[in-house]
Amino acid sequence: MIPSAKNGKRGIVYTFYSFKGGVGRTMALANVAALLAKWGHSVLVVDWDLEAPGLERFFARVKPEIQELRAKTPGIVDLVQARKNGKSLQWRDCLLDFNVTGNSSKLSLLTAGRTGPDYTARLQSLNFPALFDEYDLGSYIEELRDEWVSEYDFVLVDSRTGVTDIGGICTVHLADVLVLLFTTTESSMEGVLEILERARKAQQQLPLDRGRLLAVPVPARDESRTEYERAAQWKNRFAEQFSELYRDWLPGGKTAHDAIELLRIPYVPYWSFGEQLPAIDEGTSDPASLGHAYEILARILAARLDWYAALEGQTLAPPPTPRRRELDTEWLAKHRRQALEGLSAAGMKGFMEICHFSPDSSISKPQGELLLAARQAEVHTSTWPTGVVLDNHEEARPKPTGEGILASVSVNGFGRHVFIYWTLTKSSDFYTVMSLTEDERGQDPSRVVVEFDTRIERAAEALLHCANLYKVLGVDPNAHIEMTVRYGGLRGRRLTARSPLRELYTEGENLLEDEVSIPYVSFRLGAVGTEIVELVKKLCEPLFVIFDYATFTDDVYRQIVTDSQRKSRVG
């Protein structure tokens, strides 16, 4: 914990640093700044990434004219250039002010400098070592810093990556605390540790005493939701490398693993497009969201690294509710009716219906993120995969609804007869009706069949698609999933095999049952990979038995499921 100044009014400078680019450093800074301002603090954001500026773009939503304002408003380069030329330029005249959330809080931005064709030339004309030696730039920076912390609660500085003179200003002269963002590479970790060591040694040479330079290591682009085992291995590596840095400010009884698990920032593909503020646009209530991760970091920094003050307050985003969440039966009935009406209109009878949800999860995702997740979840073991996303077909592409997204695909031509209906809610509930693959090939209509190997393959695909979908949406790997499957249009069909290599000795015929419903099968999300054969068997056995008591050995299931997994990886 960092003690406040005696008069209780001086602010603190947090420098955000990463050894390499592409870790989300600037986005983290912008979101933390927005949250601090939302909570009523006065915040100054300083773009010291002079060679790759652009921090202001994150605030374009609240100030659309931001680029025009930067073009005519001086910034860091202009202040340093004025110092070099002996001219007077006040930093207060360089500020761009924002109202992020409609309250009266103060968020100000000091950009890298006026944009224009001469920006690069002006930057390259600044020889920073010479400026320190000949123009006493160090004293000027100290003056700026002193005035900033006198007027603002928090000063957030975006530093240049790598080992540079500009980065040295941010980490040595300005920082009270370094917020070190890193990813799962040795160079990323070793780089931030090297910079911290350099900064600490350099601060000891300054003609003032700021105390020990503290650091907050922040794992960025965390992939725990999709790569559980490998992520766990890297978390152990992080704890090993950064334990000393965490011990500088963690309270007794808390470990590096505690801090890493809490501070990690997840990689959410939806928010990787453009400069955005998910902490404001999406909110922070969903514990699996990017906005929630930024809130945790912002609370730690707002509390000056006081762990308990940051995390035990009543305003912290609530944890997931322990109450079991039930599926909306009215929602299910509505989409079942619409799907079967569409199937009938397409002139088809046979279908496979799949519905699954997580009773443990309480997430809420915007439609755009649902669409992105649907694209990434596709498993290509068949021509028309479960939850297929056809972006290039206007009538068939997924559409946004008030509940989430919905797609309806009907194809009749080119030797194919296909119907697919699927929907995904904001809370990640999934429902689909698909015409039977066995009916899609334009075969002799007098010989209607169910292919046991196709059904096993389709059940495996449904489980793999389910696992992919929930992982991308950020559902915890320990969360339970409940899936039910229903088959229809079965009366009069014979059971056979698609592959001649899987000979079926007796072709059983179903003369009685037109539908078979599988009771909900429950499993942990993270266990799909190891339990998939047994799960597929549960989803298929009640179907096969109506064909004159047909059964198949575990080896048959295992072989077909393994082939399906192999095809999905190739696809």
**Consecutive H or E run containing 108:** strand 107-110
Instruction: Give me the pLDDT at residue 10, please.
Output: 84
Q: Once rounded to an integer, what is the mean pLDDT over residues 428-438?
A: 94
Instruction: Give me the pLDDT at residue 312, please.
Output: 64
Judge whether residue 456 has pLDDT over 90: yes
Backbone dihedral angles phi then psi of residue 216, each to the nearest 5 degrees? -115, 95
* Chain segment 186-240, per-residue pLDDT in tens: 898 999 999 888 888 888 887 776 778 899 999 998 877 667 677 788 888 898 8
Instruction: Give me the pLDDT at residue 103, please.
Output: 57
* Chain segment 95-135, per-residue pLDDT in tens: 998 887 665 567 999 999 999 999 999 999 888 888 888 88
Which of 2-11, 47-56, 251-260, 532-541 is predicted most confidently?
A: 532-541
Judge whether residue 313 has pLDDT over 70: no
Judge whether residue 267 has pLDDT over 90: no
Instruction: Give me the pLDDT at residue 6, please.
Output: 38
What residues contact 190, with CB distance under 8 A and at least 6 apart? 19
Judge whether residue 165 has pLDDT over 80: no
| pLDDT, mean over the chain | 87
Q: State the number of CA atoms in the 13 A half-sphere of 266 facing the CB.
A: 27
Q: Once rounded to an integer, what is the mean pLDDT over residues 398-427?
A: 89
* Chain segment 334-352, per-residue pLDDT in tens: 999 999 999 999 989 999 9
Instruction: Give me the pLDDT at residue 570, please.
Output: 45
Q: Once rounded to an integer, what is the mean pLDDT over residues 139-143?
A: 91
Q: With cut-offs at 50, 70 and 90, classify the pLDDT of residue 280.
A: confident
Task: Cite the DSSP H helix spans in 412-494.
Answer: 452-473
Instruction: Give me the pLDDT at residue 104, please.
Output: 57
Q: Comparing 37-41, 81-85, 445-449, 515-519, which segment has the lowest mean pLDDT?
A: 445-449
More confident of the two residues 170 and 482: 482
Judge whether residue 428 has pLDDT over 90: yes
Judge whether residue 368 has pLDDT over 50: yes
Instruction: Give me the pLDDT at residue 94, please.
Output: 94
- Express as a percent the part of the chain with pLDDT over 70: 91
Nearest-5° Cα angle at 25, 470 to 261: 50
Which three-class secondary structure state does DSSP give residue 267? coil
Q: Which two tokens stand for residue 151?
A: 């007027």
Q: Once rounded to an integer, what is the mean pLDDT over residues 61-78?
A: 91
Q: Which fold has domain 12-311?
A: Rossmann fold (3.40.50)
* Contact predicate 460/561, CB 8 Å: yes
Judge whether residue 72 has pLDDT over 90: yes
Beta pairing partners, 425: 404
Q: Which two tokens stand for residue 384?
A: 């028309």
CA 558/CA 265 separation, integer angstroms = 38
* Contact predicate 376/388, CB 8 Å: no
Q: With cut-offs at 50, 70 and 90, classify the pLDDT of residue 316.
A: very low
* Contact predicate 304/2, CB 8 Å: yes
State the first-to-last Cα distance of the chain, in angstroms, to the nearest integer: 51
* Contact predicate 520/476, CB 8 Å: no
Q: What is the DSSP letter of 241?
A: H
CA 2/CA 560 separation, integer angstroms = 60
Strands 399-400 and 351-357: unpaired
Domain boundaries, the chain: 12-311, 329-570
What residues contact 397, with CB distance under 8 A and at least 6 apart? 389, 390, 391, 407
* Chain segment 171-189, per-residue pLDDT in tens: 788 889 999 999 888 898 9
The identity of residue 95, as a single letter, is L
Instruction: Give me the pLDDT at residue 397, please.
Output: 92
